[in-house]
Structure 1
């Protein structure tokens, strides 16, 4: 039985928002950057090659979904992963995608036409 089976529609909406938050490549890059530890918005922006304003907007949405947490340290605000299980989810999804891509590559190889090489000593 699927864990989604018994969830009411309102709970499914929350699940959908969580996955929508993870559907943005910049947010995945942010999660990857935060895998090394706490970082400031500027440090994250530098690592993900984005503007501070854009990263701040993404961090706000990620915080709303409980993916990241912010902590004040002096005059700095540092972000960290709030829910480490997000990495388990990403590993699961990445593994699934890798398996599908491998299977597709193997299927393409089965239909590949061997390249014939011309004989070196062949005369015209």
Structure 2
């Protein structure tokens, strides 16, 4: 990305999209799901088992994450696996985590 692109002012529409992404990432269960699937793609059942949440709750979070483009679904025979669509999202979470622990 060029410096001109990095330093330009975002439009109101672009700022709205950025804010929406942060709202989606602002839910602890969604972050927990992302942390799980960044290791390897998992099915809904595997995510339910790992988190202890209900299937309907996990499905709701997966739907929101998929709609935002943060995760993608991969069909393999009768199973659907979920994985991060872009490792940069997890990197952002790691940067925030690191910053929090360096400050306090």
In the superposition, the TM-score normalised over structure 2's length comes to: 0.89
Match of 1:39 among 22, 39, 42: 42
Moved segments of 4+, more than 6 Å: none
Deviations along 1:25-66, one digit per CA (max 9) or x if unpaired, are 000100111022111001011111111110110011111111
Tell me if structure 2 keeps the 8 A contact 1:37–1:80: yes
TM-score (norm 1): 0.75
* 1:4 Cα offset (Å): 7.5
Query: What residue ranges of structure 2 are gaps of 5+ in the alignment?
Result: none
1:1-124 equivalence runs, <5 A: 3=6, 6-101=9-104
How many pairs are equivalent? 100
User: In proportion to residue count, which structure has more helix?
Assistant: 2
- Structure of greater Rg: 1
Q: Indicate the structure whose relative CO is greater, using CA pairs within 8 Å and at least 6 residues apart.
A: 2
